[in-house]
Amino acid sequence: MTTHLTHWGAFEAVSDGERLTRVRPWRGDPEPMPLIENVASAQHHPTRIFQPYVRRGWLEQGPGAPGRGADSYVPVSWERATDLLAGELRRVYGEFGPEAVYGGSYGWASAGRFHHAQSQVHRFLNCLGGYVRHVNSYSMGTSTVLLPHVLADLYWLLQQGTSKSVLVEHTELVVAFGGLSPKNSAVTPGGVSRHHARGWIAAARARGCRFVSVSPLRDDMPEEAQAEWIAPRPGSDAALMLALAQVLDAEGLADTDFLDRYTVGFDRFARYLRGADDGVVKDPDWAAAITGVPAGRIRELAREMAAARTFVTVSWSLQRAEHGEQPVWLGVVLAAMVGGIGVPGGGFGHGYGSTSSVGEPARQVSVPRLPQGENPVQTFIPVARVADMLLDPGAEYDYDGRRLVYPDIRLVYWCGGNPFHHHQNLARLREAFARPDTIVVHDPFWTSTARHADIVLPSTMSVERDDYGAGDNDRMFFPMPALTRPHGQARDDYSILAGVAEKLGIGKEFTEGRTAAEWLRHLYDQWHGGLGHTDVPDFEEFWAGEGFELGVTDAEQVVFADFRADPEAHPLSTPSGRIEIFSETIDGFGYADCPGHPVWIEPQEWLGSSAAQRFPLQLIANQPHTKLHSQLDVGAHSQSVKVAGREPVRLHPDEAAARGLNAGEVVRIFNDRGSCLAGLVVSDAVQPGIAQLSTGAWYDPDPADASFCRHGNPNVLTADRPSSMLSQGCTGQLSLVQIEPYREPLPELSVSVPPPTV
């Protein structure tokens, strides 16, 4: 059997050269995940792209031809496709320059670090003169901007966060905003070898640690935690956290020595808690009316947090929302008020249930990766502003204290992502995608994004090519030799781009004269040579083996321990060198939607807003438990939970009964932006007032109405609205909807078969 790594786990497989005939979890994985079943079952699905295609209208009428998303496709040879693409790139770069090319290409693609699709396309576009890039992510677009102002660089924090093994030993109380969802811990960017979503929680619990899960869904916390479940109205966590802070302050429970020595601005924040300027004391009674959590319970929880060694973790989902800065900032403030930052088992964590990597100790070394070259273009967008950019070239907008201008994009190049999965308000995204002259997509599958492209190039899946990989903070470094030949005429992104580079006369710059196999060896040798220790195998031995362990610097790492020991010698990277409970920098930007200290600001769409009269259910569009985003949605495990082929939506029994809905029937979910079908699952793990429809169903628009998805993609319902002017992050997690029975004949899905071809 040969080992292979995916973002959702490592597996061992047997192949007949064409398909995987046996797959079993990697033997080192203590909690294997059924998501690996999607790989073999999807590999030769009819929606694999067999050969290169060009959209008919574009081929016949040239760049800018209308019809994207509804056209048929013309199969072409690789030679023809490469010629057409090279010609179009020459035209766009020649006439408009690199500022007219959007190459951000956001998306997770596959594990395996050489064939990392984004790195490949970025290197290619850099050889051509550069491109408009994106900054930040859909995952943590809000925190990435906020945290450096108030605590630390986000990626540093994720890498250096206190080890889960330290929490197991020392923590007495975990308060998890957004829970510690076992489904999310299935995944690590770049791959996960050993899953331990449940193991550490069970061990901490056995030692006597208590867990409080603050979440609208009971199953956001594994049963092993035996957690107390507190369910505030979604989007109202900031109010709950302010009240916890108010109790700590009012009852003299705050660690004032810690606040004096390690933080700045508590006094400004305390005025707000006490209502000194607005006359509103942010006490538990105030918060109870907003959150629905009983005031008595809030008061008690604050006391418990002050009395115990408490770890506060805030899931990434809370910042994927309007004013998503506030609950993250308040998580930091609460951890500071109870004095736990820098202490083993205390302090603040971000996303301890959001991926498997968070709370794993940092490795001593990173792993080899393809150099991307230099991008001379300065223009960028915060990633979730893509539709705004395409719809409104020349418009100005605010971002992190700057005034930026959207560029005028002629060509969009997407390789390894699925914006018609990940972006909000998909009907609007389709209008945006109608604007550029040309859209190029590489993907193994006919995703909805591929169906909006002009030039569609079939990529291999990771099981069809040689590579190697290790996930973030994951200790295993695996060789990933190809398990099967490519499907149809698929090529890996590197070969595709090398072919186009050749035609454009930049072949040498892009390939440096190496094949993919030669790159793998070259990058490994270079890395190996730079390590300076001898216990790491050379390439031959590595390639013939089944992976090896990379060392970690400190298995029992405690973040901010050195800062705690000596804040003068080890200041934070914030402007003051301390934790900023009040940020002069953010205050100086003057943004009404993100002032200088954390506050409660009512979102536009939550159960307390007037919009809830028409749309009384809070849609939670969280990550799916049966797949990674939209990847391999046609695979067996993903399909196993669909209801009449539609994505499942979960409702509380009372909400189903109030609408006369029965489990197993197809329902229509709608608001003013759009509607979709979904299959009803009734469960008391979901709070009343909530509809939970995970992301990931391939967008299947009705031919007459792009805002109606027949399959169940929640992003026809979500708002393309930024978190704030500070961060411009994605807010796809929460929106308001209504649900009704669907009485029409069920429409067939078109996204599960290839688009029409000529």
Judged by CB under 6 A, the residue of 679, 714, 754, 755 near ligand MGD is 714
Give residues in contact with Mo ion (CB under 5 A).
139
Please state the closest distance from residue 232 (CB atom) to ligand MGD, in A: 6
Q: Are 604 and 723 in contact (CB under 8 A)?
A: no
Q: By CB under 6 A, is residue 427 in contact with ligand MGD?
A: no
Q: Are 715 and 684 in contact (CB under 8 A)?
A: no
SS3 category, 106: coil
Please state the closest distance from residue 16 (CB atom) to ligand MGD, in A: 22
User: What single-letter DSSP state applies at residue 410?
Assistant: S
Please state the closest distance from residue 415 (CB atom) to Mo ion, in A: 18
Judged by CB under 6 A, the residue of 246, 484, 511, 733 near ligand MGD is 733
Q: Which amino acid, residue 542? A: F
Judged by CB under 6 A, the residue of 119, 159, 165, 315 near ligand MGD is 315
User: What single-letter DSSP state applies at residue 232?
Assistant: P
Q: By CB under 6 A, is residue 163 in contact with ligand MGD?
A: no
Nearer to ligand MGD, 37 or 220 (CB): 220
Burial class (CB in 10 A: 0-12, 13-18, 19+), 208: exposed
Binding partner of residue 270 among ligand MGD, Mo ion, none, CB under 5 to 8 Å per kind? Answer: none
CA 445/CA 381 separation, integer angstroms: 27
Please state the closest distance from residue 7 (CB atom) to Mo ion, in A: 11
Catalytic residue among 106, 262, 698, 742: 106
Catalytic residue among 53, 58, 102, 108: 108
Q: By CB under 6 A, is residue 445 in contact with ligand MGD?
A: yes
Q: By CB under 6 A, is residue 715 in contact with ligand MGD?
A: yes
As a three-state string, the secondary structure of 167-197 is HHHHCCEEEEECCCCCCHHHCCCCCCCCCCC
Q: How many CB atoms lie within 10 A of CB 644?
A: 12
Measured over the CA atoms of residue 743, residue 669, residue 628 and residue 452, the dihedral's sign is positive
Please state the closest distance from residue 360 (CB atom) to ligand MGD, in A: 14
The residue of the chain with the least Cβ separation from ligand MGD equals 732
**Residue 114 phi, psi (nearest 5):** -75, -50
Q: Which residue has the tokens 């920098």?
A: 585
Q: By CB under 6 A, is residue 162 in contact with ligand MGD?
A: no
DSSP track, 361-405: PPBSS--------------EEEGGGHHHHHH-TT-EEEETTEEEE
Judged by CB under 6 A, the residue of 45, 113, 299, 442 near ligand MGD is 442
CA angle at 499 for the pair 508 and 497, rounded to the nearest 5°: 85
CA angle at 561 for the pair 255 and 209, rounded to the nearest 5°: 65
600 is catalytic: no
Please state the closest distance from residue 473 (CB atom) to ligand MGD, in A: 14
**Residue 701 phi, psi (nearest 5):** -70, 145
Q: By CB under 6 A, is residue 443 in contact with ligand MGD?
A: yes
CA 5/CA 187 separation, integer angstroms: 11
Please state the closest distance from residue 198 (CB atom) to ligand MGD, in A: 14
Binding partner of residue 355 among Mo ion, ligand MGD, none, CB under 5 to 8 Å per kind? Answer: ligand MGD
Binding partner of residue 674 among ligand MGD, Mo ion, none, CB under 5 to 8 Å per kind? Answer: none
Stretch that binds ligand MGD, among 81-89, 102-110, 477-485, 552-560 (CB under 6 A): 102-110
The two structure tokens encoding residue 400: 């992190």
Burial class (CB in 10 A: 0-12, 13-18, 19+), 431: middle
Nearer to ligand MGD, 234 or 471 (CB): 234
Please state the closest distance from residue 461 (CB atom) to ligand MGD, in A: 6
Q: By CB under 6 A, is residue 669 in contact with ligand MGD?
A: no
Q: Are 75 and 757 in contact (CB under 8 A)?
A: yes
Burial class (CB in 10 A: 0-12, 13-18, 19+), 66: exposed
Nearer to Mo ion, 189 or 689 (CB): 189
Please state the closest distance from residue 627 (CB atom) to Mo ion, in A: 13
Nearer to Mo ion, 438 or 622 (CB): 622
106 is catalytic: yes
CA 55/CA 660 separation, integer angstroms: 44
Binding partner of residue 714 among Mo ion, ligand MGD, none, CB under 5 to 8 Å per kind? Answer: ligand MGD
**Residue 488 neighbours by CB under 8 Å, 6+ apart:** 48, 49, 50, 51, 458
Burial class (CB in 10 A: 0-12, 13-18, 19+), 704: exposed
Q: By CB under 6 A, is residue 726 in contact with ligand MGD?
A: no
Binding partner of residue 131 among Mo ion, ligand MGD, none, CB under 5 to 8 Å per kind? Answer: none
- Nearest-CA neighbor of 685 among 216, 355, 201, 48? 216
**x/- track of binding to ligand MGD for residues 452-471 (CB under 6 A):** -------x------------
Q: By CB under 6 A, is residue 448 in contact with ligand MGD?
A: no
Number of residues that bind ligand MGD (CB under 6 A): 62
The residue of the chain with the least Cβ separation from Mo ion equals 139
Judged by CB under 6 A, the residue of 110, 142, 379, 671 near ligand MGD is 110
CA 155/CA 136 separation, integer angstroms: 11
Judged by CB under 6 A, the residue of 42, 117, 197, 504 near ligand MGD is 117
| Binding residues vs ligand MGD (CB under 6 A) | 107-110, 115, 117, 138-139, 177-179, 181, 183-184, 186-187, 214-217, 220, 234-235, 237, 315-318, 320, 351, 354-355, 415-418, 421-422, 442-445, 447, 459, 493, 620-625, 628-631, 695, 714-715, 718, 732-734
Q: Which residues are catalytic?
A: 106, 108
